[in-house]
Amino acid sequence: MAGWLLLAGFSASAAWIGNIYDGAPIVAGAEMNTLRAWQIVYAAGVLGYLLLLWSFRARPAATRTILIAAVALRIPLLFCPPNSDTNRYAWEGRIQRLGFSPYTAGPLDPRLEPHRDGIWEGINKKKFPTIYPPLSELEFRLLSTIHYGVKSPQIAHAVLDLGAVAALAALLAMLGQPAWYLAIYALCPLTLASFAHAGHNDSLMILPMLGFVAAAFRKHWRLAGVLLGLAILAKTTAAILLAVLVRRSKVAVAVALGVVTVGYVVYPDAYVGLDTLGRWTEDGPFNNLFDELRIRWNRWSDWKFRAGSRMTLAMILLSAAAAYRVWRPRDLLTDTRWLMALVVLLLPIIHFWYVAWTLALIALNPRGYWSWLILPATMTLYWLSDWAHLVGLPWRLELWAVAAIWLPFFGAWAVELYRTRIAGFADGEAPVAVTLMGDAAHSETSNRRHTGRGGTRPPPGATLQ
């Protein structure tokens, strides 16, 4: 009961707090401002969320209960002003209707000066044109046609988020997993803050990504290719999941690439967005512990580790990870989670809502991934960057805050890897190659127990085609 009360209190209090980005006092003359109050109620919500998950292990909640709660918790958050990213969504939708390409006409383009308004004022990083791929831009245009304002993307992305919740419920039933796993994503305050509250468009990628997983499990390869292509057109980072299909279905790979090609034909300037994406970190990295240490190393050492070299290294690691999963695939879900987790961890800019990409997949089978549930709690510190901006400092996190966000997570991850390896030795197996954030050793051991034979029973979707 305490968990439910804390979660409900978080949602209701957020609606009462209102705009967390103006730093205004909660009430006239009060020292507590809206941003600090948001951090407090968010932290209380995360505590309630973790208490609920703990209680569900002994007394699982029904799917219907979680679905009703998911809707009820999101409704109050829609009354809050969204994040400034929605200003860009609305603006780029509008300029498309005016005949301009958001890939070549950035917010500071002098041709757009007569059209500047209050929404334009709220856009961040005005010096850059868009970084969003074609499906996102098509959605922005559609939403701007329906209603030009920041509330339309906020509501739309909350609805897509609920679509992802419904897709997860169906997937869990299909896979025979416990229904309460749905709460890992559906009731997480980080998820609530990402879409219903802030209005970020990542739910446009998460929904087709989950559809891709469902279609691939059922070996509906053409449909899987279409859905993965849509996910890539919503968020380019989903492209790494093509590696999951290479050994399973060449047809699905071809279909996915075909869908992406169509998107870039509809928006022929969209390739410029890929170049802009590479320049997006010109103002510096954000919330990545490795980059914070790299920056300090460059201050103290004569040998400089430049940002360009860092991005090259990240691309090499991601390419190697994708190639490894092509060469040594595990089951479908393990491969998908592993690759998306690696993408999040290697990004030079890690916003709190990026964690939702992986949470949606973890909810399908959290074994070996419980450490990710630490991040919704430690991301409470993320909003210190907004506070810095409010008081006239650069929009960034101090090293101590980045360390406090990530070190507990990496510590828990190390423990999970150790336990996974110990589990393999305890069952008399040869040492198992432990994969990053993976549960391969445990699942293989578990399969042996279930079959009672020396061989293993492949999980659904593991068969290669």
DSSP 80-98: S---THHHHHHHHHHHHHT
Contact call for residues 170 and 161 (beta carbons, < 8 A)? no
105 has a pLDDT exceeding 50: yes
66 has a pLDDT exceeding 70: yes
465 has a pLDDT exceeding 50: no
Half-sphere exposure of 282 (CA within 13 A, CB side): 9
Question: How far apart, in whole angstroms, are the C-alpha atoms of residue 338 and residue 320?
Answer: 13
Q: Which residues 6+ apart lie within 8 Å of 418 measured at CB?
A: none
Tell me the per-residue pLDDT of 328-363, one tens digit each, with 9 for 90 and over. 998 999 999 999 999 999 998 999 999 999 999 999
| Planar angle of CA 67, 71, 72, nearest 5 degrees | 115
In Å, the largest CA–CA distance within the chain is: 73
Tell me the per-residue pLDDT of 374-389, one tens digit each, with 9 for 90 and over. 999 999 999 999 988 8
435 has a pLDDT exceeding 70: no
Tell me the per-residue pLDDT of 144-194, one tens digit each, with 9 for 90 and over. 999 999 999 999 999 999 999 999 999 999 999 999 999 999 999 999 999
The whole-number pLDDT of residue 432 equals 30
Cross-strand pairs, 286: 349
Cross-strand pairs, 33: 25
The whole-number pLDDT of residue 429 equals 41
The whole-number pLDDT of residue 410 equals 94
8-12, 76-80, 245-249, 278-282, range with the lowest pLDDT: 278-282
The whole-number pLDDT of residue 302 equals 67
The whole-number pLDDT of residue 307 equals 59
Contact call for residues 69 and 62 (beta carbons, < 8 A)? no
Confidence of residue 457 (pLDDT cuts 50, 70, 90): very low
Cross-strand pairs, 25: 33
- Summarize the confidence of residues 125-142 as an average pLDDT: 95
SS3 33: strand
Half-sphere exposure of 131 (CA within 13 A, CB side): 17
Rounded to the nearest 5°, which phi and psi values hold at 288?
-125, 115
The whole-number pLDDT of residue 28 equals 60
Tell me the per-residue pLDDT of 280-337, one tens digit each, with 9 for 90 and over. 766 678 898 888 888 777 777 767 666 567 778 888 999 999 999 999 998 999 999 9
Tell me the per-residue pLDDT of 204-243, one tens digit each, with 9 for 90 and over. 999 999 999 999 999 999 999 999 999 999 999 999 999 9
**183: exposed, middle or buried (Cβ count in 10 Å: 0-12, 13-18, 19+):** buried
Cα-to-chain-centroid distance, residue 199? 13
Please report, for the chain, the start and end positions of each structural domain, with discontinuous segments joined by +: 2-82+150-451
Confidence of residue 455 (pLDDT cuts 50, 70, 90): very low
367 has a pLDDT exceeding 90: no
413 has a pLDDT exceeding 90: no
Nearest of 16, 39, 12, 40 to residue 26 by alpha carbon: 16
12-21, 24-33, 80-89, 253-262, range with the lowest pLDDT: 24-33
The whole-number pLDDT of residue 440 equals 36
Rounded to the nearest 5°, which phi and psi values hold at 262?
-60, -40
| Planar angle of CA 413, 415, 420, nearest 5 degrees | 95
Separation in Å, CA 315 to CA 94, 244, 256, 298: 34, 17, 21, 21
Per cent of the chain over pLDDT 90 is: 71
Give the DSSP letter of residue 453. S
Q: What are the structure tokens assigned to 279, written together?
A: 């320049």
Contact call for residues 231 and 238 (beta carbons, < 8 A)? yes
Element (H, E) at 36: helix 34-58
* pTM of this structure: 0.89
Question: How far apart, in whole angstroms, are the C-alpha atoms of residue 274 and residue 257?
Answer: 16
The whole-number pLDDT of residue 431 equals 34
Buried b (16+ CB within 10 A) or exposed e, 385-421: bbbbbbeeeeebbeeebbbebbeebeebbeebbeebb
The whole-number pLDDT of residue 458 equals 40
Cross-strand pairs, 349: 286
Question: How far apart, in whole angstroms, are the C-alpha atoms of residue 318 and residue 339?
Answer: 8
Q: Which residues 6+ apart lie within 8 Å of 199 measured at CB?
A: 82, 83, 85, 86, 89, 150, 153, 154, 155, 157, 158
Separation in Å, CA 57 to CA 67, 179, 382: 18, 11, 29
The whole-number pLDDT of residue 391 equals 83
Tally of residues, the chain: 465
The whole-number pLDDT of residue 294 equals 82
Question: How far apart, in whole angstroms, are the C-alpha atoms of residue 194 and residue 360?
Answer: 13
Q: Which residues 6+ apart lie within 8 Å of 110 measured at CB?
A: none
Q: What are the structure tokens assigned to 444, written together?
A: 């293989």
Question: How far apart, in whole angstroms, are the C-alpha atoms of residue 224 and residue 299?
Answer: 47
Give the mean pLDDT of the chain.
87
Q: Which residues 6+ apart lie within 8 Å of 53 measured at CB?
A: 180, 183, 184, 373
